[in-house]
Structures are given as C-alpha cells and as structure tokens.
C-alpha cells in the first residue's frame, strides 16, 4: 500500500469553527426543555471544531439544534463544502455523545437511492430535502437508527471500524500507520489529494469517507458512550 503522512499537503478544515451558533437545552425531552432553566440559549460554538461536541456536552447540552440546512448539493464551491463538512462533523461528534441533534439535510439532485445510508449512523435529521423518495428515506433512517452503528476505535498498533449501516456487521481493520494518519487527517475534512490515494481508495470502497466538493470527510465516529458492554458491539 502507498504510504504517506497526515501533514504532507493540503489544509484540513479541523481548525475552522463549526456552525457559528447553536440552540441548546439541558434535556432530551421537549416537554422537559420547556421548564425554567432548561434552555441554555443560543450558544456560540465553543472553540475549534475538534472537541466542540465535548465542550457542548460539558456545558450541559443534551439537545442541540443546528441553524440552517446541511447542504450536500453544494457542488465544488470550497467555502460551501467546508461549511457542510463542519456541520456534519458537529452532528457526528454530538451523536457519539448521545446528544439529541436537530438538523436538516439537503441531498444533491443526483443522489442515489441509498446515499442517505452513508450518514444513517448519525442522529436522524428533522427533514431531508432533495430527490424523490426522501420522505421514505427519512422514515427508514429514523426506524433503523441506534448508537454505535458505525464507529471506529484505536487499539495498540491498529485501528478498527465496525459498520452496521447496511444491516450486517462489516469490519475493517488496519495495522499500517498510514491508515491511522489518514483518519486523523480526514476527521474534520481534508482535500482529497492530501491523503495517500491507496488509503483513500480503500476507505471510499467501504464508504467510510464522504466526498463533499473538494473535501473528503471521515464518516464514522469514535464512540464516547457505549450502547452496551463494548465486547458486544
């Protein structure tokens, strides 16, 4: 396999902020969120995007609403692609924390019928805009969603991805250091040429990265809360 480093070329979006502000509450239940003191207000996304989900969690956020629509129809515009990747990263990281995320998704006009399944490990959006069949896709997403559906973990000298987005368990394990470096590079979006092509092709073949304009983005989350004992996942 082609080797490389995570810092050879290109610029990651990982130091960019996520959505400028979010609405946040201290509880998952909308009825409980109506009680005095449960609304945290409109919060500026705290600090750089890596770790923003953790910081919102430690602020007490258990329900978070993103502004606007996460747009996968942005084409090749770099700024729009970066905004989309940043929003998806926040949804992913909050999902890993088992935070209830309220967000909207727009699929591209040429999206295939199963394209939504690439993101089906994330907290389901409130609505999907796009091709015919979006309502059916959203219903299937909501019915099939659970925590730990597509995750990655780091062991001593290897990385492993466990993926159930298509029903059965698929495992991808790599002990070559360039794979771990690539995951770190892709975590918050990176120009595709900045990642070794052989590694990126492997990830694309397993649909573990999503191409958003000129950026490639790492899809699985690194789990923060286990659904059950880790040996059963």
Please compute the mean of the pLDDT values over residues 48-58 and round it to a whole number: 88
The per-residue pLDDT for 229 is: 53
What would the pLDDT profile of 88-104 be if each residue is shown by its tens digit?
A: 999 999 999 999 999 99
Please compute the mean of the pLDDT values over residues 13-34 and round it to a whole number: 81
User: How would residue 223 be classed by pLDDT, with cut points 50, 70 and 90?
Assistant: confident
Does pLDDT of 38 surpass 50?
yes
Lowest-pLDDT choice from 25-34, 104-113, 133-142, 202-211: 104-113
For residues 95 and 125, give the distance between their C-alpha atoms in angstroms, rounded to a whole number: 11
The per-residue pLDDT for 50 is: 86
pTM metric for this prediction = 0.87
For residues 125 and 144, give the distance between their C-alpha atoms in angstroms, rounded to a whole number: 13
Phi then psi for 92, rounded to 5 degrees? -60, -50
The per-residue pLDDT for 226 is: 54
Three-class secondary structure assignment of 62-120: CEEECCCCEECCCCCCHHHHHHHHHHHHHHHHHHHCCCEEECEEECCCCCCCCHHHHHC
Q: How many CB atoms lie under 10 A from the CB of residue 24? A: 21
> Nearest 10 degrees: CA dihedral of 69, 106, 61, 146?
180
């Amino acid at each position: 396999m082609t080797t490389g480093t995570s810092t050879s070329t290109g610029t990651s979006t990982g130091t960019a902020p996520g959505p400028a502000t979010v609405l946040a509450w201290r509880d998952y239940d909308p009825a409980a969120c109506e009680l005095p003191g449960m609304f945290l207000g409109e919060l500026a996304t705290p600090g750089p995007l890596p770790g923003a989900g953790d910081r919102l969690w430690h602020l007490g956020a258990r329900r978070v609403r993103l502004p606007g629509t996460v747009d996968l129809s942005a084409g090749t515009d770099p700024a729009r692609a970066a905004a989309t990747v940043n929003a998806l990263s926040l949804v992913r990281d909050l999902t890993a924390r088992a935070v209830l995320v309220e967000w909207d998704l727009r699929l591209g006009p040429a999206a295939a019928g199963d394209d939504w399944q690439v993101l089906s490990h994330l907290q389901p959006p409130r609505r999907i805009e796009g091709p015919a069949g979006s309502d059916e896709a959203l219903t299937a997403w909501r019915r099939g969603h659970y925590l730990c559906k597509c995750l990655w973990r780091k062991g001593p000298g290897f990385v492993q991805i466990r993926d159930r987005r298509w029903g059965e368990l698929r495992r991808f394990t790599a002990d070559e250091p360039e794979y771990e470096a690539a995951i770190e590079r892709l975590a918050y979006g990176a120009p595709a040429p900045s990642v070794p092509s052989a590694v990126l092709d492997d990830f694309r073949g397993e649909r573990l990265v999503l191409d958003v304009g000129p950026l490639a983005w790492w899809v699985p989350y690194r789990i923060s809360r286990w659904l059950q004992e880790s040996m059963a996942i």
